[in-house]
Structure 1
Amino acid sequence: MSGPQCCENPPTLDPNSGTGHVEKLAGLDTYVVGSPASNRAILLISDIFGFEAPNLRKLADKVAAAGYYVAVPDFFYGDPYVPENTDRPVLVWLKDHGADKGFEDTKPVIEALKSKGISTIGAAGFCWGAKVVVELGKCELIQAGVFLHPSFVTVDDIKAIKVPLAVLGAETDHVSPPALLLQYEEVLKTRPEIDSYVKIFPKVAHGWTVRYNVEDAEAVKAAEESHENMLEWFVKYVK
């Protein structure tokens, strides 16, 4: 995450958004939605703006409607990135919220989900969250992963992942440009034992899947296409 693009179009956070509710899961405030009787769960791991972003919660509701129990933990402990706080630029904020800590925090979350009777888990990571997902995939703590405009993920990470992976990227992305995503694709092609695909969406920028303008029909259409692709992947592998 090496430029301002990751910080553009910040959402207006709303703790009351979504049709689900917030409860403690492994000690973390977590937006949960979907049938608690489901044995299939999806973890949505947010970008730097955190779990109160309305478009992210709307997406969680959509995934839940497909039959999943969905959890969106607050890995930032009530401290999402705030662009207006000029005393704490994103690189300073990241020192307090590294993806490595996010990965460690997912382990008890996954155990908490399993204690509810969940047997299969998928995870989708948005920007910051993609690095957490790749670490989960290396350890096979999930059954499938999806990256949406990833940050921090290296080619070496892709070489080590062990679960089916879908990568949804943007044509205009200075954080993970198409050239990098094509490198992911080349590596994945050498690993036929891991089902995967890379898709680069035209005419969209980093963050388009959750930081879109709801009044912009084209932006909504592109975001919804990515949501459908994500859900199709989970339907295929998280059953």
Structure 2
Amino acid sequence: MYISPAIVLTYVSYPPDKSTHNAILFLSDIFGPKLVNSQLIADQFAANGYFVVMPDLFHGDPVPVEREGNFDVMAWLKNHLPPVTDPIIDRTLRYMRQELGCQRIGGVGYCYGGKYVARYLKPGLLDVGYMAHPTHVEVDELKGIQGPLSISAASSDYLFPTEKRRETEDILSELGHPYEITVYSHVEHGYSVRCNMDIKQQRVAKEKSFAQAAGWFDAYLKK
């Protein structure tokens, strides 16, 4: 289902009881909210009792799923930095709290979206955060979080390598907020959204990553 809060195309999914009190802001990877895999994950969160809102962070300009080999992702990214993306998230959060009646909001960030979970994990914005294989999260953004954060990581990830993962853990341990980092073997960057479900290790990692996120929100978001 799509709505358009403040002219931002948005995929929404309701829990069985239709309540919007416990909500999740779903910040997608570079393929945007029309990616069926992302919609299925949003529906999973809804089935677990959360009202889910997934805005188009890219103004209709996601990275094509079937892109040609010469597609320059870094050039694309220059058009989708925080000065462009933050206002979309700001409008969406205002709409969720003021118009949709969301009382507690957790942030889910996959890949690209993980950066913005860190940026918005603050009182009055996001109450709880979850990231899967995040990308481009700056040290200052991570140090600025003010709430519980859970991270799912791939054992092989050139965008969130071992060194970055360990640095992240060091920072989170100093902040004092609840946190967890789980590393899944036999998977690479992007596995929690796009993996080969026919390969057992990848399927198990994807399923357990979702269970990790759902359990984190059940523990820290629901009241």
Is TM (by shorter chain) over 0.5?
yes
Contact kept in structure 1, 2:186 and 2:201, CA below 8 Å: no
Counterpart of 1:238, as a letter, is: L
Whole-Å separation in 2 of the counterparts to 1:95 and 1:157: 18
Contact kept in structure 2, 1:100 and 1:132, CA below 8 Å: no
Query: How big is each residue's C-alpha offset from its partner over 1:181-231, in whole Å with a ceiling of 9 and x where there is no partner?
Result: 111111111122x11111111121110100112333331211010000011
Taking only the aligned residue pairs, the percentage that are identical comes to 32
Shift of 1:88: 4.5
Whole-Å separation in 2 of the counterparts to 1:195 and 1:171: 22
Shift of 1:139: 6.0
Whole-Å separation in 1 of the counterparts to 2:124 and 2:181: 20
1:207 to 167, 173, 190: 190
SS of the aligned residue for 2:175 comes to coil
Whole-Å separation in 1 of the counterparts to 2:198 and 2:56: 27
Paired position in structure 2 for 1:23: 3
Whole-Å separation in 2 of the counterparts to 1:87 and 1:204: 25
**C-alpha RMSD over aligned residues:** 1.6
Whole-Å separation in 2 of the counterparts to 1:101 and 1:238: 28
Paired position in structure 2 for 1:159: 143
Whole-Å separation in 2 of the counterparts to 1:100 and 1:125: 18
Structure 1 moving runs of 4+ over 4 Å: 85-88
In structure 1, runs of 5+ residues without a counterpart are 1-20
Counterpart of 2:77, as a letter, is: L
TM-score of the aligned structures, taking structure 1 as reference length: 0.86
- Map of 1:217-236 to 2, 5 A cutoff? 217-236=200-219
Contact kept in structure 2, 1:125 and 1:131, CA below 8 Å: yes
Does residue 1:69 correspond to 2:45, yes or no? no
Whole-Å separation in 2 of the counterparts to 1:135 and 1:184: 14
TM-score of the aligned structures, taking structure 2 as reference length: 0.91
- Residues 44 and 134 from structure 1, CA distance in 2 versus in 1: closer, same or farther, beyond 3 angstroms? same
Paired position in structure 2 for 1:9: none
